[in-house]
């Protein structure tokens, strides 16, 4: 999608600190980190949120989960990380291209604030 920020990152038109890539996903550091490790894992194809990605492209959705784990492990936190999918504006989603937040390196409370 031409007006999607994350599609522009996938296309290489907007710079990002990319930490991993595969056939289905790319992962890059969040510009406003909320933890010592804060990496976004996104599908290359555009879907507005994780629910629509999972419904339309289950292989890509599964790759996103697998890659999130591999990224946490590569950062030294395979044993303890948080994977967040904000889905919908009221749930805190601000970029409407599916993405998972891989967060690690500090303690996280439950329930989240």
Q: How far is residue 42 from each of residues 46, 89, 100, 106, measured CA to CA in Å? A: 9, 18, 7, 23
**Tokens in use for 104?**
């690690």
Q: Of 18, 70, 83, 95, which one interacts with ligand AMP (CB under 6 A)?
A: 95
Do residues 103 and 38 touch, judged by C-beta distance below 8 A? yes
Binding residue for ligand AMP, selected from 30, 44, 45, 75, defined by CB under 6 A = 30
Asked whether position 16 contacts ligand AMP by CB under 6 A, the answer is yes
C-alpha dihedral, 86 to 89 to 92 to 96, nearest 10°: 50
| Cα(106)–Cα(111) distance, integer angstroms | 15
Counting residues that bind ligand AMP (by CB under 6 A) gives: 13
Residue 99 bears catalytic tag: yes
Shortest distance in whole angstroms from residue 7 CB to ligand AMP: 12
Binding of residue 86 to ligand AMP (CB under 6 A): yes
* Residues labelled as active-site residues: 99
Residues found near ligand AMP in the complex (CB under 6 A): 5, 14, 16, 28, 30-32, 40, 86, 92-95
């Amino acid at each position: 999608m031409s007006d999607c920020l994350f599609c522009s990152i996938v296309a290489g038109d907007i710079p990002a600190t990319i930490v991993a890539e595969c056939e289905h996903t790319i992962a890059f550091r969040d510009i406003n980190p909320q933890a010592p490790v804060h990496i976004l894992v996104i599908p290359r194809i555009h879907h507005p949120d994780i629910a629509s990605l999972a419904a339309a492209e289950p292989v890509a959705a599964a790759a996103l989960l697998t890659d999130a784990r591999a990224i946490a492990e590569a950062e030294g936190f395979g044993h303890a990380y948080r994977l967040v999918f904000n889905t919908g504006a009221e749930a805190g989603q601000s970029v409407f291209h599916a993405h998972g937040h891989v967060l690690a390196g500090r303690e996280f409370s439950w329930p989240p604030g």
